[in-house]
Amino acid sequence: MLGSVIVSSPPMHPVGLTDEELARLLQGLLAAGKESLLVVNRFTCSVFSKEASTNVWDFEGIGDLGGDSLSAMSSYFRRRVLKWAETTATNPRDANLSALRVTAATKKVVQSWQAAVLGATTSKGRTGEVSSKTAQKVFMASAWRCQFDGCGEDLSSHFATDGHANYSYLAHIVASSADGPRGDAVQSPLLADDAENIMLLCDKCHRLIDRVAPAIYTTEKLRAMRARNVADIKRLLAGLQYPPAEPIMLIGNVTGQPHHYSKRNVEDAMLNVGLRPSRDEPEYFCFNSYILHNPHSAAYWGSLFESLSTDIPRMKALLNGSARGHARPHLAVFPIHSTSVLILGGRLIGDTAGVSVFQFHRDKVAGNQGGQWAWPSDATEPRPEKYRLEVLKDHQSETEACLLVSLTFDIAQDRLTAECYENGVLKLPTLKLTANRFSSDVIGHPKDLELFGTKLDEAIRTLQDRWKVRRIHLFVGAPASACFRVGQKIQARNQAIYVCYETDRGSGSPFKQTIEISSTLVSGPGGEQVAL
């Protein structure tokens, strides 16, 4: 029996320690002269320690007591500083130490326990009780990949000195024996050869669920994990039937927050809309995550125009097919950049049937299928009247006009430049495109971009065909995908000059000019020019 016990520190690992990690823990405790107590159940081991001068035991960690741990303890068995106790508790950390029978830990005792664990978790857990037919079902459902969340290791072949080798385990969720991890006297014999009760796991993940942290990886948790994996595999393989699309990352540093590209989220977002990536890596356009976002800084535009001088020809080659040696590919555009660059990107790529535009949803919880790039699954299709076009000041005979796009916020007229507004009066003909509400998530459904685009067409027809203006001042407060959509609607043929504006820093700050886009050139605030 033992004295008082204090659980004074959490495990070193959020789930549990591997054999190697547990060995390092034991080695450190023993080298420091501490007495160590190993409390084991049928599969795993908790470690407690105390100073020689006290009867208070401190919890140190829990994990897999394997060969490495045995080696770490081997020179200490004779010193009798290692204690041993067995418990029936599901998690040995929770055992009532004062009620346990404690003996000296010996090499023979540890090896005997390890042999019992090996028999319960390995020999019966591989293929001995799984028929060939069931095994094939598991292999096919998993596509020969480890089914543990976040692992996915390819188990069909491994590079080894003897060539190909199989390091996969057919791991039972409900153990094939009542004595195994998650075993059940009734269910174990019934489910031993049931493919839906078996996961394909790599050695590391198999040890994790059976020997490192069996108390954490319960039957319910593993069943849910397997179901997610099977659904993901089916979805990914179904994606082979989808048309290919080339991912385009129109990404920049916005408000000092560079966007971190997630290949998986981009792939999942594309699969959700019936597309599959045609390349492992995306094309980047105007990538400037290393430059502080300041659209009114000479350094900002100087760097961007240096990038544009190579990016625009590269984009044109992609669009006309010369970059890949075949027809123009379908494009999947993922935009997060300054308003002006988004508009320019849309103008370059154009408004064709071969472009799919995605919206980054900042308030969506990351980790969902497709992450923040996926269209929300609970979004409702917007009604046709969601977007409307208003004439704030009609056209007389002017050659210039203003277009206000107010989606995320209402653009106050006193924030416009002196060319457009002065002394409480609009000086130029002005159109305003807005929605039935102002919000950062106003673009929440693919249909939003379609309806918004229809209103943009109406606005541009009014400006260029009816009013026949030659210069359009463009003020946009909208989500990234909508800014890109504005650029898509600017057609090179019969195009007026579009002058882009962005707000200065600070709430309610005025708009200032950034770039001009003509049918042949994009011009910067410092006189920079690049041909389109």
370 inside domain: no
Domain boundary among 184, 211, 238: 238
Do 234 and 132 fall within a single domain? yes
pTM reported for the whole predicted model:
0.71
pLDDT tens sequence for the chain (532 residues):
555 555 455 444 456 888 999 999 999 998 888 889 999 998 899 999 988 778 888 899 899 999 999 999 988 888 878 999 999 888 888 888 888 999 999 999 999 999 988 877 765 444 447 888 998 999 999 999 999 999 999 988 643 434 444 567 889 999 888 878 888 889 988 898 999 999 999 988 988 898 888 888 999 999 999 999 998 898 888 888 999 999 999 988 776 666 777 888 888 899 989 999 998 888 899 887 667 778 888 888 888 899 899 999 999 888 887 767 677 889 999 999 999 999 999 999 998 879 999 999 877 655 456 678 989 888 899 999 999 999 999 999 999 999 999 999 999 999 999 999 999 999 999 999 999 999 999 999 999 999 999 999 999 999 999 999 999 999 999 999 999 999 999 976 668 999 999 998 767 889 999 999 999 999 999 899 999 8
Do 210 and 225 fall within a single domain? yes
Domain boundary among 189, 214, 238: 238
Taking Cα atoms as reference points, which of 460, 449, 362, 365 lies closest to residue 407?
A: 449
Taking Cα atoms as reference points, which of 449, 503, 502, 495 lies closest to residue 472?
A: 495
365 inside domain: no
Do 86 and 73 fall within a single domain? yes
The dihedral formed by the CA atoms of 252, 257, 258 and 261, expressed in degrees to the nearest 10: -110
376 inside domain: no
Do 197 and 253 fall within a single domain? no
Do 99 and 156 fall within a single domain? no
What is the bridge-based pairing of β-strands 400-406 and 430-435?
Answer: parallel
The structural domain count of the chain equals 4
Q: How far is residue 290's CA from residue 270's CA, in Å, rounded to a whole number?
A: 27
Do 228 and 255 fall within a single domain? no
The dihedral formed by the CA atoms of 61, 64, 66 and 72, expressed in degrees to the nearest 10: -20
- Per the structure, the complete domain to which residue 460 belongs is given by 381-531
